């Protein structure tokens, strides 16, 4: 396949960045609108050298279309086509944040090809970072930006403007001589070198007014925004794919940068509710504590939570007091298992359950509301191990009101869990992105079966857990509460 390179002057170069519609199967908890932080960051890096626009299909001409056992949320594809035709971009960058949502990115790519076969299509995001070979070989795009995209995409635009060869750009995957080529780019060390997101390129009020804004992700969804203050994960959890596109080294914005970002959102957009989506916001305790101190000392009146989870073993009583004082509404702890052997030897999380329980007691004392992630169905688990996890989830809800979020272990592409499952034949080797979409939902369909448990066993235990939670919740179905977390945290 020949790569499409544009031949335009800088003042004519037009870039369109697209966040595709999303497809949800009926057993999923529900759709969420979120600010497109990745695209906003990319736009900030190139807006001085090209004309850049953002089409967020979760906002523009938004529709809900139910078909069979799934629902599509977002701009209808015929209107996406009209938008692309109107903008007539030279380069289209399409984000692929989840493997389970890659289908709509591919559909938009086909639209671009139909409009103009010479239009350059670039995929980026977590899915493209892991599955770039597949994406390129199937012809859905001309290039994939792997991992952190800001510097790679800027260099690509600069090369196009100068009519230079793009085939030695680190972090860019492409096909040349019928072979997929890719040279890794080193991860950014100083994240403060990145500009703040280009919020002026989107209609922020359209997000803030959406009834779907962080609806099932947070207890404080209204008039709120996500923020990511760090990158990378030094841990080795077998089911996690973060390392594949953000690396193992923990890197972070300085407290100065974080406070400046918070104040921008407060002063320019009137936002005072924040979702810290970092994978490890508290990994560097000194930095995290300084951010909390600055919020407290400067009387910055905000509310915040951690919907993506936080490691309990990075917390202590003193930090929790500051977490509470700085406006935290709730924390989501990544507990994963109720069995220490599973945590150490199977998941490889290496966190102490005893310490986790101590942190939960502290949070209860300080009136910090909690939710917790639990994951069942790992190769190496037994039925009894899984029962221990479910029993812990129920006990923590009864004793400390910790809202349990039970998930099935899912072999995401490229993870150690994926390799184990494929090597041992524990999943259907032909499982699809749709299969991933249902497996990763709170009430989805598991993909893994072993000699210790079947998929039916997992589904049965999850159903029994839900029935037990329905009884405990008392004021409505457990599923409904998870769909709207504000209902239980209010």
pLDDT digits (tens, 9 = 90+) for 196-233: 999 999 999 999 999 999 988 888 999 999 999 999 99
Token readout for 192 is 């403060």
Query: Nearest Cα to 457, choosing from 470, 448, 469?
Result: 448
Q: What percent of the chain has pLDDT over 90?
A: 81
pLDDT recorded at residue 2: 39
* Domains within the chain, CATH numbers bracketed: 10-182 (3.40.50.280), 191-197+208-489 (3.20.20.70)
* 69 has a pLDDT exceeding 90: no
Token readout for 404 is 């349990």
Region of poorest pLDDT, from 140-149, 354-363, 474-483 = 474-483
- pTM comes to 0.93
Mean pLDDT computed over 303-332: 96
* Eight-state DSSP code of residue 201: G
pLDDT: which is higher, 106 or 2: 106
Query: Nearest Cα to 17, choosing from 138, 102, 144, 123?
Result: 123
Burial code (b: 16+ CB inside 10 Å, e: under 16) for 251-280 equals bbbebebbbebbeebeeeeebbbbbbbbbb
* 279 has a pLDDT exceeding 70: yes
């Amino acid at each position: 396949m020949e790569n499409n390179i544009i031949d335009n002057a800088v003042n004519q170069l037009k870039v369109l960045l697209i966040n595709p519609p999303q497809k949800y199967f009926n057993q999923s908890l529900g759709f969420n609108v979120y600010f497109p932080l990745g695209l906003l960051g990319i736009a900030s890096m190139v807006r001085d050298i090209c004309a850049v626009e953002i089409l967020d299909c979760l906002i523009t001409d938004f529709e809900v279309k139910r078909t069979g056992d799934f629902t599509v949320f977002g701009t209808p594809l015929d209107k996406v086509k009209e938008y692309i035709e109107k903008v007539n971009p030279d380069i289209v960058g399409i984000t692929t944040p989840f493997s389970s949502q890659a289908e709509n990115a591919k559909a938009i790519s086909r639209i671009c090809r139909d409009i103009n076969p010479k239009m350059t299509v670039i995929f980026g995001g977590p899915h493209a970072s892991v599955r770039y070979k597949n994406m390129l070989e199937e012809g859905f795009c001309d290039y994939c930006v792997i991992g952190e995209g800001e510097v790679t995409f800027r260099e690509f635009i600069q090369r196009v403007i100068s009519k230079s060869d793009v085939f030695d750009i680190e972090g860019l995957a492409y096909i040349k001589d019928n072979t997929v080529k890719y040279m890794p780019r080193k991860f950014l060390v100083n994240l403060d070198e990145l500009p703040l997101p280009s919020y002026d390129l989107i209609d922020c009020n359209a997000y803030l007014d959406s009834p779907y804004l962080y609806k099932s992700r947070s207890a404080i969804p209204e008039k709120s925004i996500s923020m990511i203050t760090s990158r990378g994960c030094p841990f080795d959890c077998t089911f996690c794919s973060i390392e594949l596109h953000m690396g193992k080294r923990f890197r972070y914005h300085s407290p100065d940068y974080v406070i400046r970002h918070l104040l921008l959102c407060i002063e320019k957009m009137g936002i005072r509710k924040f979702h810290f989506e970092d994978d490890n916001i508290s990994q560097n305790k000194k930095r995290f504590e300084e951010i909390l101190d600055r919020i407290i000392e400067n009387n910055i009146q905000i509310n915040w939570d951690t919907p993506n989870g936080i490691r309990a073993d990075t917390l202590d009583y003193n930090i929790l007091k500051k977490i509470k004082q700085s406006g935290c509404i709730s924390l989501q702890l990544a507990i994963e298992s109720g069995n220490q052997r599973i945590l150490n030897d199977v998941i490889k999380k290496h966190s102490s359950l005893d310490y986790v329980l101590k942190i939960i007691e502290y949070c209860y004392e300080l009136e910090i509301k909690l939710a917790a992630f639990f994951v069942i169905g790992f190769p190496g688990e037994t039925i009894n191990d899984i029962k221990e996890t479910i029993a812990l989830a129920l006990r923590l809800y009864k004793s400390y009101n910790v809202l349990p979020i039970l998930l099935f272990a899912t072999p995401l592409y490229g993870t150690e869990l994926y390799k184990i499952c494929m090597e041992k034949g524990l999943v259907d080797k032909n499982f699809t992105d749709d299969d991933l979409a249902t497996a990763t939902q709170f009430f989805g369909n598991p993909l893994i079966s072993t000699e210790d448990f079947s998929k039916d066993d997992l589904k049965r235990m999850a159903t029994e857990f839900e029935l037990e939670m329905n009884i405990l919740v008392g004021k409505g179905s457990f599923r409904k509460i998870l769909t709207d977390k504000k209902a239980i945290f209010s």
